Structure 1
Amino acid sequence: MKKRVLITGAAGFLGSHLCDRFIQEGYSVIGMDNLITGDLKNLEHLFPHPDFEFYHHDVTKYIHISGRLDYILHFASPASPIDYMRIPIQTLKVGAMGTHNCLGLAKAKGARILVASTSEVYGDPLVHPQSEEYWGNVNPVGPRGVYDEAKRYLESITMAYHSFHKVDTRIVRIFNTYGPRMRLNDGRALPTFIGQALRGENITVFGDGSQTRSFCYVSDLVEGIYRLLLSDYVYPINIGNPDEITLKDFAEEILKLTGNTVKIVFKPLPPEDPKQRKPDITKARTILNWEPTVSRAEGLRKTYEYFKSLPPEEWYKQPKEFQSRQE
């Protein structure tokens, strides 16, 4: 029988690519999303597939899946600052209640579960590069605390279910990832820079641009997640590309790629914006035999071609408006 996998956050950027991968690998896939930040356009190519089902559901509510379930990948969560600062309570709830519900489902089904954590658990790091042993430098009541602490709680409850209930768990710490199906105006550097270039606007860099990021192409990330799921390693593991670049240099790469002649303008740095971000992927290399293979030049070209192919109205599309009332 085909193995059956549930992927939460399936209509999002990463979730939809994971659905593609598991369909390609011959799994029966259930995609689940409440569409608060996800978009069904990311999944519509899978709707005719006999091995794909979609459940429109909020994972902070009780999750019912009939029949056997072999794997759960919990990727439901706002992932960009523009989202989690507008919907802070939902962000906390999906990290806490949503993870709790997914773990409970894994326990009931005897399924292996992989949960999506993030490099944000390291906060504004005092250690560089960041290894899994670093505990982080996080302000729980700061502007990014709702996302940072949601993911730190996600890791804690996952390990508790592993230790106390013997649930078969995996934890991936995802560093900056990019590729097709990102939203142009989600507040993250790469889609923001490309969106501004497409619209002929000046590219906005916060601070002096000396802060660094390390960008991983989505196919590399999906490969790392797939290997982690099928491995025997239960502790957090970094998946990302250690090729570090300053945001000023990155903006210049985007300008060169797009052939645009707009300027780079500098604005004040948001509070608690991480100054450095680079994964130590020693564990991924040794345990999973994984490392990224797509160069930034190749990945940026593919991503730019995707964004450029979108209807021009998508270039100007504003972020989703969320409910003002948060329960």
Structure 2
Amino acid sequence: MARERILVTGGAGFIGSHLCESLSKRFDVVALDNFATGRKENLEGLGVEFIHHDAIEPFPEEIGRFDFIFNLASPASPVDYQNLSIQTLLVGSLGMKNALDFAEKSGARLLQASTSEVYGDPLVHPQKEDYWGNVNPIGPRSCYDEAKRYAEALCMAYSRKGLPVVIARIFNTYGPKMRLDDGRVVPNLVGQALRGEPMTVYGDGKQTRSFCYVSDMVEGLESLMFSDISGEVFNIGNPEEHSIIEFAQIVKKLSGSDSEIIFKPLPVDDPRRRKPDISKITATLGWRPKVKLEDGLKKTIEWFKKRVMG
């Protein structure tokens, strides 16, 4: 019996490549990416088919039919999406429509990788799926926040017409295969610690984030995709909340670094608190994160060490 086929858009990215690796053990997997922020080396040795394509353009029919589509195509770090602001808005609109149209033609079920950024700088804590958010629609982060909010609306419009679609709001995720230069807090602090450079904390460091190890995230995404749930939104993340200054001190300790911690001005619209309420996915599918922060960071630091120190 032929194995089911899965398309992962953004498959050469950080989370996308981990997802491809996990899925390839049970399915025929095709990764689609334009390398705007993804990297070919992330897919090396995984045994997945690769298609170089920009999701903003209609998907080529010759790639065939698929049973499932994970749509992860989008820049995801502030540095990337602010440098690629127009492309980010287009992949969240045209790219999302292309993925949904292709799913419709294929008879495929689609999972949209959304983001906790749809909550903006939240006034409700922790954030539940029924919270509508506090987003600046014209700020420097709006290209990403609003692209993802629009993509969710488009998914729900297709879902109401019968397409099986589920939306995952992904909170901060970390692990091997992150780019050292992607500007997010984990590669920033780990890279600085390993190079012996001052470790940069923005603002007073009291703002919080919740960090989910990538293997837990992949399990959460798969549990959603392979359920029979459609037309719903689920938070996926680790609800253990840490201040950024506390997180920097953990990174410093685990990396054995002598770096000093320095403070710089907080970027515009940077969220003050971010913590997922995951009670919905836990109650519905039994998913919860398993990897403790220090265990995940040790693996991440070891991976970065090979890149920083050769």
Q: Segments of 4+ in structure 1 off by > 4 A?
A: none
CA distance in 2, matches of 1:262, 1:309: 19
The residue number in structure 1 matching 2:3 is 2
The residue number in structure 2 matching 1:29 is 29
The residue number in structure 2 matching 1:296 is 293
Correspondence 1:2-151 to 2 at 5 A: 2-24=3-25, 26-46=26-46, 49=47, 52-66=48-62, 67-151=64-148
The residue number in structure 2 matching 1:321 is none
Match of 1:252 among 227, 240, 249: 249
Q: Say whether residues 1:187 and 2:183 are aligned partners.
A: yes
How many angstroms does 1:232 deviate by? 2.2
CA contact (8 A) 2:32 2:51 kept: yes
Match of 2:221 among 222, 225, 247: 225
The residue number in structure 1 matching 2:171 is 175
Aligned residues: 307
Match of 2:201 among 188, 205, 227: 205
Q: String of CA shifts for 1:179-207, please: whole Å, max 9, x gaps.
A: 00001121111110000011110100000
> Which letter does structure 1 place at the counterpart of 2:192?
Q
Q: String of CA shifts for 1:215-254, please: whole Å, max 9, x gaps.
A: 0000000000000001122211000000000000000001
CA distance in 2, matches of 1:306, 1:199: 14
CA contact (8 A) 2:15 2:214 kept: yes
CA distance in 2, matches of 1:110, 1:7: 16
CA distance in 1, matches of 2:205, 2:308: 30
CA contact (8 A) 2:195 2:308 kept: no
Calculate the TM-score normalised by the size of structure 2: 0.97
How many angstroms does 1:311 deviate by? 5.3
CA distance in 2, matches of 1:226, 1:149: 25
CA distance in 2, matches of 1:33, 1:312: 29
Q: String of CA shifts for 1:153-193, please: whole Å, max 9, x gaps.
A: 110000000102x1110100000000000011211111100
Secondary structure of 2:136's counterpart equals coil
> Which letter does structure 1 place at the counterpart of 2:149?
R
CA distance in 2, matches of 1:20, 1:65: 24
- Aligned-residue identity in percent: 55
Match of 1:159 among 144, 156, 171: 156
CA distance in 2, matches of 1:167, 1:11: 26
Give the gaps of 5 or more residues in structure 1: 314-327
CA distance in 1, matches of 2:112, 2:70: 6
Give the gaps of 5 or more residues in structure 2: none
Match of 1:238 among 235, 240, 247: 235
The residue number in structure 1 matching 2:260 is 263
User: Could you say what the CA RMSD is over the residues aligned between the two structures, in angstroms?
Assistant: 0.9
Q: String of CA shifts for 1:91-134, please: whole Å, max 9, x gaps.
A: 00011100100000011111000010000000000000000000
Q: String of CA shifts for 1:61-109, please: whole Å, max 9, x gaps.
A: 0102443310000001000000011110000001110010000001111
Calculate the TM-score normalised by the size of structure 1: 0.92
CA contact (8 A) 1:32 1:54 kept: yes
CA distance in 1, matches of 2:103, 2:92: 16
CA contact (8 A) 1:224 1:288 kept: no
CA contact (8 A) 2:194 2:308 kept: no
CA distance in 2, matches of 1:311, 1:201: 12
CA distance in 2, matches of 1:259, 1:21: 31
